[in-house]
A and B are shown apart, each in its own frame.
Chain A
Amino acid sequence: MKLSPNPYNLIVPIKPGEKDALMAKLEIMQDDLYDNPLLPFRQIKSIHFARFVILHEAGDFPDQLVFSTNYDGMLDSHLKEILNCPEADIDQVLGHCKGYPDGSEGDKIRWLKDNAKLRAYFYRGTWGMSREHIISTERLRKIAEAKIDELTGQELSAQELRNAIAETVKKDSEFRTYPEYKVPNFNLWEILKLLVIAVVILVLLPFFLIVLLAHEIADDKREYDKKYSDNDRTREFVSREDKIVQNQLTHLVDIKPGWFRLMTLKFVLNGIAYLAKYWFNKGKLGSIPTIHYARWIIIDKGKRLLFFSNFDGSWESYLGDFVDKAAVGLTGVWSNTVEFPKTRGLVFRGARDEQRFKSWTRSKQHITHVWFSAYPDLTVTNIANNKALHEGLTHDLSQKEIEEWLLRY
């Protein structure tokens, strides 16, 4: 089974002197996400979420543009849709980047793939539903809800209600049956692989812990001590937040120097991506049900860690969930990056230092210059519920199942 949707990340240096011009273009896009003349997202049917971010020059790193999407289908057709959209003029944007070809579509696709970081550590809250599937089931739910309103007071039985809803919804031209999608599952091969890895970990663990402790004690002296993040920066972030049901986070931080931290980070991220694929593949990361898609990308030759997330609800609630429900995993990742709150044993303390962790996150947060959501009024749990509502109309249900299904409206 093909994984879906998938992450795409273009990361490319901006031509010297052209950053301001590029910023102006991004502003045009952000001001009118759906219909702007550069990339009118209304027309791009393969995109769930997308963002453009400018990473400003810092130390050895030049100004860079990041363009990231969560897309349906094959990468080539996704890129082709963006390049060929008659209402779009993406050349105007990408033309500010180093090496963007003037030539044929084939050249451009090659460039878009050559400059992409396809290795992202990725989490999906929703699996196997195309954008069209997500939007359509919401529309059908609204039709069903209106029908239920109409029937209120008629004292119908569960079976009669379902029949009436089915009759109305199935009349709609968008109604169709979607093929079954199965999320990846452990098989014998995966279990064997895990066993081998477990043995290797057990053997290496004592050595690892000794080296880790030495690093952690040294890091304590460099600990981030500023209690609050920079209010001016935070004000800029919040001015963009809480406009739709979802919010987003772009976060960029230097990885602690040295091979040990980089290796540890890669190991932890691989572990998380593995769990995200085989274990946390039912809409929740741990017990957090609000994350649509999230990814970590190691950039700049292993020097920096970039994090993108699309989530439901407020920043405060998202970060609170991190601390309350996922502190171990997140500390395991970010304790390998600079100025993170004091950590022990890779995963302890760290993010549990709640206010300091939140301040640290704000201090490493980065402006997202363009951010698009294809279904700005839907949460992860709404999407899953809509799917179940739709399946309740296409599958056979027992009396008890019908009763439970009706409670989902």
Chain B
Amino acid sequence: MENIERENIQGMLLYGYKWLPVARYLFLSITDVDKARSWIKQVDWRYATSSPRDQCMNIAFTAQGLKALGVPVDEENGFSRAFIEGMDTEHRNRILGDFGANASTDWEWGNKQHDQLHLVLMVFTRDQAALDNWDAVQSATLAGAGLETCSDPIDSIRLPDGKEHFGFKDGISQPVIRGLGRQSSEDNYVNAGEFILGYENDYGKEPHSPRIQKGEMDFGKNGSYMVFRQLEQHVPLFWNTVCDHFGGKNEGREKGIELAAKMVGRWLNGNPLTEAPDKKIKSGDMNRFSFFLDDPNGTQCPLGSHIRRSNPRDSLSSNSKSSSLRSATDAANKHRILRRGRPYGKPVDEGMAIDQILDKIDGDQESRGLNFICFNTDIDRQFEFVQQTWSNNIKFHNLYNDVDPIMGVQNGGRDEAGHYQMAPTQFEVQASPVRKRYQDVPPFVKVRGGSYFFLPGRQALEYLSKSPD
């Protein structure tokens, strides 16, 4: 087993700082390279060996940001094509679903016009007062550090019980890195090299990783590629849509909640539909279940539901032999991502009780959603694959014309101006004797911004704090 150098890996990658519930993401541009370098040098960056009690900072760079600091970000030096080119390209818009309402031209940050985005500074604090305190001290420091805000910072919060804004418990299924000592079921372990550069990945190879200075300097070691997408969630639209199929949110409340659960693949409390279809909370591991053995036809957890698409586990197995289940799980595990996102915006109901949410959505105009952040070492094979081959793929799991009902986007072809449009999507709920289809499912999630970043390890961060000569 390889020794994982926690002391050289930025803390949020391994821990996510769950005990620091308030976060701020600052999008910065480097205006003075020398000052920025000395700022990087003097900040007390937190690595995964300490558990800061009050606050801490992590940092990640865009390709432009690294270039500004003199790093040769190109393929010869081993940077990934996705990172070099960025999230906003004609082809990536097509596969990620960034057109129509998600069009990158309308993004508030991160699109290709926004090329002054050099880095994101991520601040995690114990509470709001600690963040205000940090702000009072640090904003002056940043101005003197050759850094300039290039778009509004985004704050994040934690909702009660680890819920997201629609009201479902989130973040339940996470891969567990082999060798870090955390316990999990055997099929949920993934090698460190899937998320941290410089270690063996699940193919038993070190992932391609940037090396600079003619290969002398291992720039990638203990770093990772970070995907950041700000996803606005239309909570009133979501609940009104599902309840309206059954006569509105009063009369059709219970059935509406059931349809919403079918879309997600879990009940509100996080229980998977394969395990507890009768809503009774069953104690035990919410992650330990088999799609193929428990529900091969999707009559409990629909084949096109959000959790089945986000991590199909053994669902795509060709038969029930254990070797086939194993190889389906192994193949699905080649596309895991380490999620470190947090909600933003005021929840509909502070307590996140579903009845309260449904009672309060009328006339609600609040902006809220998820700051989706994930880590991976191969953006093509991990994040983009999940988005394209699972979420947005109308043929996922032998279906004909479904996308992920929560966040999927279907391509409706080009309009007269040549821009791709979203097509109306459908959601099929498998059932006996025959399926039921819901047509014209509107998009409940809208992309407000996004970018690919590189989260440097200690060695790279130290390199960035010095002048290259």
A residues in contact (CB < 8 Å) with B:
141, 145, 148-149, 152, 156-158, 161, 227-228, 230-231, 234-235, 238-239, 241-243, 245, 284, 287, 289, 312-314, 316-317, 320-321, 323-325, 352-355, 379, 381-382, 385, 403, 406-407, 409
Contact = CB atoms under 8 A, between A and B. Distances in A.
Given A228-B75, A287-B318, A409-B434, A241 B91 contact: yes
Interface in B413-461: 430, 432-437, 439
In the A-B complex, the 8 residue pairs with the closest CB atoms:
A158-B433, A228-B75, A238-B91, A317-B389, A381-B398, A354-B203, A324-B331, A406-B434
B324 interface: yes
Interface in B68-115: 75, 78, 80-81, 84-85, 90-91, 94-95
B389 A148 contact: no
Contacts of A354: 203, 205, 381
Nearest to B90: A239
Contact of B81 (A234, A325, A406, A407): A234
Interface of A is mostly: helix
Contacts of A158: 433-434
22 contacts: A152-B437, A227-B75, A227-B78, A228-B75, A228-B78, A231-B84, A235-B91, A242-B94, A242-B388, A243-B94, A316-B380, A320-B334, A325-B331, A353-B203, A355-B205, A355-B378, A379-B395, A379-B398, A382-B395, A382-B398, A406-B432, A407-B430
A148 B395 contact: no
B395 A152 contact: no
A287 B325 CA distance: 12
Interface string B389-406: 100011100101000000
A317 B327 contact: no
A317 B385 contact: yes
B384 interface: yes
Contacts of A235: 85, 91
Interface in B311-331: 318, 324, 327, 330-331
Given A149-B437, A287-B324, A313-B393, A323 B297 contact: no
A238 B95 CA distance: 10
Contacts of A403: 432-433
B327 A287 contact: yes
A149 B385 CA distance: 32
Nearest to A317: B389
Contacts of A407: 297, 299, 430, 432, 434-435
Contacts of B385: 314, 316-317, 320
A314 B388 contact: yes
A242 B203 contact: no
Contacts of A409: 434-435
Interface in B179-216: 203, 205, 207-208
B430 A152 contact: no
Contacts of B84: 231
B326 to A, nearest CB: 12
Given A231-B75, A320-B381, A161 B433 contact: yes
A325 B317 CA distance: 12
Contacts of A406: 432-434
Interface of B: 75, 78, 80-81, 84-85, 90-91, 94-95, 203, 205, 207-208, 297, 299, 318, 324, 327, 330-331, 334, 378, 380-381, 384-385, 388-389, 393-395, 398, 400, 430, 432-437, 439
A379 B396 CA distance: 10
Given A161-B433, A287-B318, A316-B384, A239 B91 contact: yes
A148 B435 contact: yes
Contacts of B207: 355
A147 to B, nearest CB: 10
A152 B398 contact: no
Contacts of B384: 316
Contacts of A287: 318, 324, 327
Given A161-B433, A234-B81, A403-B433, A245 B318 contact: no
A321 B381 CA distance: 12
A228 B381 contact: no
Nearest to B203: A354
A289 B94 CA distance: 24
A234 B80 CA distance: 12
A368 to B, nearest CB: 16
A407 B433 CA distance: 7
B91 A231 contact: no
B263 to A, nearest CB: 17
B395 A228 contact: no
A314 B95 contact: yes
Contacts of A241: 91
A230 B75 CA distance: 8
A347 to B, nearest CB: 16
Contacts of A230: 75
A397 to B, nearest CB: 13
A316 B437 CA distance: 30
Contacts of B380: 316
Given A145-B437, A352-B203, 4 more contacts: A152-B436, A228-B208, A407-B297, A407-B299
B45 to A, nearest CB: 29
A407 B436 CA distance: 11
Contacts of B327: 287, 324-325
Contacts of A381: 395, 398
B387 to A, nearest CB: 10
B463 to A, nearest CB: 20
A385 B433 contact: no
Contacts of B434: 148, 158, 161, 406-407, 409
Nearest to A151: B434
Contacts of A382: 395, 398, 400
Contacts of B203: 323, 352-354
Contacts of A152: 436-437
Contacts of B430: 407
B123 to A, nearest CB: 34
B320 to A, nearest CB: 14
A313 B437 CA distance: 23
Nearest to B399: A382
A330 to B, nearest CB: 15
A231 B81 contact: yes
Nearest to A287: B318
Nearest to B81: A231
A156 B208 CA distance: 57
A227 B208 contact: yes
B324 A316 contact: no
Contacts of A325: 327, 331
Contacts of B432: 403, 406-407
Contact of B388 (A145, A148, A284, A316): A316
A160 to B, nearest CB: 9
A245 B389 contact: no
A355 B91 contact: no
Contacts of A156: 433
Given A355-B207, A407-B297, A312 B395 contact: yes
B390 to A, nearest CB: 9
B313 to A, nearest CB: 15
Contact of A316 (B205, B208, B330, B389): B389
Contacts of A242: 91, 94-95, 388
Contacts of A312: 395
A117 to B, nearest CB: 32
Contacts of B378: 355
A409 B433 CA distance: 10
A158 to B, nearest CB: 4
